[in-house]
Structure 1
Amino acid sequence: MQLGNLERSVMEALWEHPGGMFAHDLAPLLPSGPAVTTVLTVLTRLSNKGMVSRERVGRAHLYRATAGKDAFVAEAMRAALDEAGDVAAAVQRFVGTVSPEVASALRAALGERDGSAR
């Protein structure tokens, strides 16, 4: 799922504050200091995308990310592969660019997956 710059900044802040945030506390943390009404619009869009939940607290809403950053990154990677014309070539090219640590993490994840399928 693609996010705009402000949406991404909002999500980064929410991932750093897993207990949730109010729009008026979130606005000053964002680049260019958008108005609270702008932040509320972004939060509504993110809620419609299923990325943010809101809970009424008094007269305001407390916003939380519905999933962690790792889940978002995994979904973005899956979506990118879905768009690749030649998935095998895309994966091969990706693997050729990763650090040894990432390669090790990929091997471990694939090993776990293969082990759980038996």
Structure 2
Amino acid sequence: MLRGLGELESTIMDRMWARRRPASVRDVLEDLRQERTIAYTTVMTVMDKLHTKGLLRRRPVGRAYVYEPIASKEAYTADLMRSALADSGNQAATLVHFLERLTAEEAAALEAALQVFPHRGGQA
């Protein structure tokens, strides 16, 4: 089961997805410090946890690591949605409730996505 991210994990992942290139803890720290006071060790610990969770990959560069997202934000969000649906107990009812809550813009995006993605004939 996938779980959502904590507030700082989410902020760091949003920064990593927006960067679109590898980043060190120091890079992320400097970015975060534009909006808040935060310790290097805090950012390092959270990025290590995101690596352990399989959201960031890392490679050594000198005495530090450089991190990058494993998947796009959209792919991560899709995995969260799929996990929530799988855990719902009643997938049909969950989908109905989901569809009832869509805005007109979200419904249009869903319709466009269904046009792009071919029907799989009941395959999962």
TM-score by length of 1: 0.85
Q: Which amino acid aligns with 1:13?
A: R
Segments of 4+ moved more than 4 angstroms: none
| Residue matched to 2:13 | 11
| Residue matched to 1:84 | 88
Q: Percent identity?
A: 36
Mark the runs of 5 or more structure 1 residues left unpaired by the alignment. none
Instruction: Give the C-alpha shift of residue 115 in structure 1.
Output: 6.4
| Residue matched to 2:118 | 113
> Match of 2:102, SS?
coil
| Residue matched to 2:97 | 93
Q: Which amino acid aligns with 2:118?
A: R
Task: Pick closer, same or farther for the CA change 1:89–1:103 going to 2, 3 Å.
Answer: same
One of 12, 26, 29 as aligned partner of 2:31: 29
Q: CA RMSD in A?
A: 2.0
Contact 1:53 1:63 in 2 (8 A): yes
One of 45, 55, 68 as aligned partner of 1:51: 55
- Greater share of helix: 1
Q: Which amino acid aligns with 2:12?
A: V
Instruction: Give the C-alpha shift of residue 52 in structure 1.
Output: 0.3
Mark the runs of 5 or more structure 2 residues left unpaired by the alignment. none
TM-score by length of 2: 0.82
Task: Pick closer, same or farther for the CA change 1:22–1:116 going to 2, 3 Å.
Answer: farther
| Residue matched to 2:106 | 102
| Residue matched to 2:66 | 62
Moved more, 102-111 or 65-74: 102-111
Instruction: Give the C-alpha shift of residue 75 in structure 1.
Output: 0.8
Instruction: Give the C-alpha shift of residue 49 in structure 1.
Output: 1.0
Moved more, 40-49 or 54-63: 54-63
> Match of 2:107, SS?
helix
